[in-house]
Amino acid sequence: MPASYAYLGPEGTFTEVALRTLPEAATRELIPYVSVQSALDAVRTGDAEAAFVPIENSVEGGITTTLDELVAGQPLMIYREVLLSITFALLVRPGTRLSDIKTVTAHPAAQPQVRNWLKRNLPDVVWESAASNADGARLVQEGRYDAAFAGEFAAARYGLEALETGIHDAENAQTRFVLVGRPARPAAPTGADKTSIVLWQRDDHPGGLRDLLGEFATRGINLMLLQSRPTGAGIGNYCFCIDAEGHISDRRVAEALTGLKRICLQVRFLGSYPRADVAMDGVRPPLPGTSDEEFVAAADWVARCQDGRF
């Protein structure tokens, strides 16, 4: 495959900024795509080695466009994640005043992060969604909208001015981005890892979600994301996107996935990869009875019992 990374473009997105923090990005051709779907499709067709896309923000949770693309279609796998602190600037054409702004645009994920600022400062403005924040800046450059919420760094790229900066409703807001490629062997565990999966229930019944979550709870596995997404098969039909602490090579994680495979209609493995939010020395130790050594010892005991050596 070409030595290129696709990403949500155009140039000047937060996605591009986050992507350039990866050391390997310096050795790849970085190609902007107009949507998350088109960036991921470039990987599926072999036009790109990997795609870099947003998947979660700390204000609204999972980014549904990305989750839905990973849930459906040809399987893909997450290899890396990056966290980026997010603040917005209000970008306008030179000479535009706040009182001149009647329309604004940005990526849909930006709206919940600036909603209160808009209510205080531009209560009558009309919001229109753009494919990305940088695309919104491009549309302002073309005269389609009066202003766009984007990174301040995008102003020079599109010949705009930052009328306001440091805009955010939530302090320390972050967006999580992931590097997605075709399925392959996961990287070796680091000791500070995350495993992502999608689960489909066999049927809808009382306690069904509890049964799924019990496979993690009984093995002392903490969940970092749990989000339901409609399957498209009718009202009330959902799958569950889950991020869990640990690596598939950890015995407790492997056994949890084995249990889920037994009771679920379908399980899609989305990858085990290093966590971006914590270093190895910051990971909580396993709960009593859930370390790899204890799993091995328990399995050895069962084997001895089967051999009459207990």
Residues in the chain, overall count: 310
How far apart CA 6 and CA 32 sit, in angstroms, is: 6
Nearest to 110 by CA among 92, 144, 137: 137
* Tens-digit pLDDT profile for residues 180-232: 999 999 999 999 999 999 999 988 888 889 999 999 999 999 999 999 999 88
* pLDDT for the residue numbered 278: 82
Beta bridge partners of 147: 92, 104
Check pLDDT > 70 for residue 107: yes
Axis-axis angle for helices 64-71, 36-44 (nearest 10): 30
User: What is the chain's mean pLDDT, rounded?
Assistant: 93
276 phi and psi angles, rounded to 5 deg: -95, -10
Q: What is the mean pLDDT of residues 72-91?
A: 96
Domains parsed from the chain with CATH numbers: 1-86+174-184 (3.40.190.10), 88-167 (3.40.190.10), 193-309 (3.30.70.260)
Amino acid identity for residue 264 in this structure: C
Which residue matches tokens 């600037």?
Answer: 89
Q: What is the helix (H) or strand (E) element at residue 83, kind and residue range?
A: strand 77-85
* pLDDT for the residue numbered 285: 86
Check pLDDT > 80 for residue 281: no
69 phi and psi angles, rounded to 5 deg: -70, -35
Q: Mind giving me the DSSP string for 224-263?
A: EEEEEEE-SSSTT-EEEEEEEES-TTSHHHHHHHHHHHHH
Say if residues 7 and 19 touch (Cβ distance below 8 Å): yes
* pLDDT for the residue numbered 2: 56
* Tens-digit pLDDT profile for residues 15-49: 999 999 999 999 999 999 999 999 999 999 999 99
Q: What is the mean pLDDT of residues 280-299?
A: 86
**pLDDT band at residue 309 using 50, 70 and 90 as cut-offs:** confident
How far apart CA 11 and CA 186 sit, in angstroms, is: 30
Nearest to 91 by CA among 15, 32, 7, 167: 167
Say if residues 149 and 104 touch (Cβ distance below 8 Å): yes
* pLDDT for the residue numbered 204: 82
* pLDDT for the residue numbered 171: 85
Half-sphere exposure of 76 (CA within 13 A, CB side): 30
* pLDDT for the residue numbered 205: 85
Q: What is the mean pLDDT of residues 107-123?
A: 93
* pLDDT for the residue numbered 170: 87
Beta bridge partners of 128: 105
